[in-house]
Amino acid sequence: MESGFNGMGTAPVDPRATPEMDPALRIRLADLCEEGWDIWDRFDRSTGVENFHPFVAADYDVVLKALLPFRAPGLKFLEWGSASGIITIMADLLGFQAFGIELDPELVRIARTLALRLDSGATFTEGSFLPQGYRFRPPDGDGRLGTIGHGPSGYIQMGRHLDEFDLVFAFPWGGEEPLMLDLIRAYGRPDAHLLLHTVNDGVRVYREGRLIGENGPAGPRIPKG
């Protein structure tokens, strides 16, 4: 991730066994990941059985590994589609100024309640992660947004712009990556990193629209050029 990307592998990480972290932090992160799966299981049973919902829990262990190399004082983290808030709270516990935008009001309520209970400073905003006025115009002319819902832009309520963030994370459905890359190019800071968690490829790291690192099933890869 930049020249400092350390190519961490893809085996599930146990925060309790991460030597560079304070033992108390390791335990808090491990407990957070476990709670994330419990929340997902309850939500899926209560909501996903009868109706499709785009909330799918990320692989929290893999995401944690991807975030660790970026830890530095004062960095701002944003999650697009923060769902139950686990990853945004994880970023807060790691020392980021952490923000999440989520369209579903019930998930925002869950995230805020969890952050309060865990004494986390993570901030959650209800709304769309698409800036007001943004239109996706790919070369093939197919500007459909996939599973990305419509709603008022969350940046207005949050009082921040996309170009204020150092690190942006999302867990897109297949086919949504081009939109997210276009969005960060159009509105993000030139030196910002975009982390996209994909089911098959782990976490891909982009800067200025260029893939610079990846944790995939076959191990870490650093693209040439």
Q: Could you tell me the CATH number of the domain that includes residue 191? A: 3.40.50.150
What are 170's strand-pairing partners?
Answer: 80, 196
Of 52, 58, 68, nearest in space to 17 by CA: 68
Per-residue pLDDT, 55: 64
Structural domain total, the chain: 1
**Residue linked to tokens 């262990």:** 61
* Residue 131 Cα distances to 81, 123, 216, angstroms: 13, 18, 30
- Residue ranges of E strands in the chain: 76-80, 97-102, 123-126, 167-170, 193-198, 202-207, 210-216, 219-221
Scanning the chain, the segments in alpha helix (DSSP H) are: 23-43, 60-67, 86-93, 105-117, 154-158, 177-187
Using left for φ > 0, alpha for ψ between -120 and 50, and beta otherwise, residue 121 falls in alpha
**Residue linked to tokens 């712009």:** 161
- Both structure tokens of 198: 């994909």
Per-residue pLDDT, 134: 86
Range of the domain at 208: 2-221
* Residue 70 Cα distances to 33, 75, 151, 171, 195, angstroms: 19, 9, 31, 18, 11
pTM of the complete model? 0.80
Tens digit of each residue's pLDDT, the chain (225 residues)? 332 333 333 334 444 444 467 888 999 999 999 988 888 677 766 665 555 555 677 888 899 989 999 998 899 999 999 999 999 999 999 999 999 999 999 899 999 999 999 999 999 999 999 998 887 665 655 545 555 667 899 999 999 999 999 999 999 877 788 899 999 999 999 999 999 998 776 899 999 889 998 764 444 443 333
